[in-house]
Structure 1
Amino acid sequence: MTNQLDAVHLEINDSIAVVTLDHQPLNVLNATVLEQLDQAIDALQETEVRAVVLRSASAKAFAAGADISQFPELTKMGGIELLEKGKRIFDKLTEGKAPVICAVHGLALGAGLELALACDIRIADHSAKFGLPETGLGILPGYGGTQRLSRLVGPGKAKELVLSGVWLNGQEAYEAKLVERLVPEGQAFETAYALAEQIAGKGPLAVAFAKEAIDEGLDLPLSEAQFLETRMFAKLVGTEDMDEGVQAFIEKRKPNFTGK
């Protein structure tokens, strides 16, 4: 299945979806790109994909930020509407059942970095550069950047990056735990797709519930998060996927999960 949009392409091969940003040359996240990304995410929700890879077709950037040309005419109410639209789209990406793996090369700045932060797993190559330069424009990251970044790298590192606007290269981002894997230049997508294949081979219900338990548990006290984990485990007991997974293990064969 392939769906071609002007700036965002969606391709589905078996149980893996690839979403490609293709607004040349830098994938600036203007209104058109965000709308098409929103459409692609909606299309994904109508499928049974088990993993998603988000990548860029640009040679220079994953995504170089928001469309700054719209800012001079922005009103307070317009600013709120702009941010809420972006947050809704990014949240929808985050909350999908299928995990999203982001393959980053080149620039991932401002809203582009915030889009990467909305993914479940980030893989970057050595050409990647990450930054939130908004304070240099007299504003702050508004697509979830201050919140998702602090949860990922800790409040101190988040403040260092947001308040100063400093950029990190791929190695620095990996050391700061901003990305989960650092790979040689040109290998981010290949590595992300291989990981997606690994995930797609696991029980889809188990993957979805585990992702939900991790995401929701972060905002709960440990005791409540532990109970959430127990409830998620209980939902899997007796499913066809559990029976298949256990039987395949006993028979030393590859399981055939159906998501039931």
Structure 2
Amino acid sequence: MTWDTVSLDWNDAETVATLTVDRPEALNALNVETLEAMGEALATAADGDARALVLTGAGDDAFIAGADIKYMKDLSVAEAQEWGELGHGVADALEAFPAPTIAAVNGYAFGGGCEMAIACDLRVAAESAIIGNTEIDLGIIPGWGATQRLPELVGDEVARRMIYLGERLDAESAAEVGLFGKVVPDDDLEVVAAELAERIAEKPAVAMRAAKQSLNQRLEGSQAAGLDYEKRAFASLFGTHDQREGMDAFVEDREPEFE
């Protein structure tokens, strides 16, 4: 299968799949078409028995700069619920992918981009990477899993600061709090991520799958309830003054005036 906004490539041994979000003109922001393509690409990689998967963004400026604000800003609550479900579906597919997944984070990874990165098993970042859950400045909250997954990675205090304040962390700061496992020079990111993926792919596949399933087991139960709550809370904010103002201000490149 081929897609306009996503590519799926394999290494020579066809053991490692690389899923690239390819909208560099929009800083790889996620719209409906791209999310649907990502879901299809992940299914294709799983059907192809990928033993590791790398997620990255095209170009030098962004991993995934976030969700498409121009699309989001006029959504109704019901439409926002569907939008949240679509993003959750992709993040959940990354988390549940049969083999380990690696986010190769280049440039901006804000909002939904951060959420896709933290849904992966491992994260390698370029020195220029900047990551954060910036939704609060749009009058909404993270809607694709960050309220549940981020504290698991960085601890409750750091997660609350990132979400409450919309804090953006540079690569070294993110590594210090456990958000990135490794930071490398920008020019080395692709090679380092590929090497890590190939090392994983060389391990016994059945045992690796069992290891991932066992590690993910600790996230079942209460996190599932939390993710469901997040979906409802995210959607309920659409149509509020602050959501409209936050997203209009973003699109119009001005400071928002919240209630």
Instruction: Identify the TM-score tier after normalising by the shorter chain.
Output: 0.7 to 0.9
2:42 corresponds in structure 1 to: 41
2:23 corresponds in structure 1 to: 23
Q: Deviations over 1:206-257 (max 9, x none)?
A: 1110011111134589xxxxxxxxxxxxxxxxxxxxxxxxxxxxxxxxxxxx
2:115 corresponds in structure 1 to: 114
Question: Pairwise CA RMSD of aligned residues?
Answer: 1.5
TM-score by length of 1: 0.81
| Contact 2:54/2:193, CA 8 A, preserved across alignment | yes
TM-score by length of 2: 0.81
Q: Say how many residue pairs are matched.
A: 219
Say which SS state the counterpart of residue 198 (structure 2) adopts: helix
Q: Quick one: percent identity of the two aligned structures?
A: 38
**1:6 partner letter:** D
| Contact 1:109/1:132, CA 8 A, preserved across alignment | yes
Structure 2 distance, partners of 1:143, 1:197, is 28
Q: Please, which moves more after superposition, 182-191 or 198-207?
A: 182-191
| Structure 1 residues 1-260: aligned runs within 5 Å | 3-13=1-11, 14-25=14-25, 26-219=27-220
Structure 2 distance, partners of 1:174, 1:7, is 29
Q: Please, which moves more after superposition, 179-188 or 139-148?
A: 179-188
Say which SS state the counterpart of residue 127 (structure 1) adopts: coil
**2:9 partner letter:** E
Point out where structure 2 has 5 or more consecutive residues left out of the alignment: 223-259
Question: Alpha-carbon deviation of 1:80?
Answer: 1.2
| Contact 1:136/1:165, CA 8 A, preserved across alignment | yes
Say which SS state the counterpart of residue 186 (structure 1) adopts: helix
Higher relative contact order (CA 8 A, sep 6+): 2
Question: Alpha-carbon deviation of 1:186?
Answer: 2.1
2:238 corresponds in structure 1 to: none
| Contact 2:174/2:180, CA 8 A, preserved across alignment | yes
Q: Deviations over 1:39-95 (max 9, x none)?
A: 101111211111111112121100100011123321111111110111012101210
Structure 1 distance, partners of 2:115, 2:154, is 13
| Contact 1:105/1:186, CA 8 A, preserved across alignment | no
Structure 2 distance, partners of 1:55, 1:81, is 25
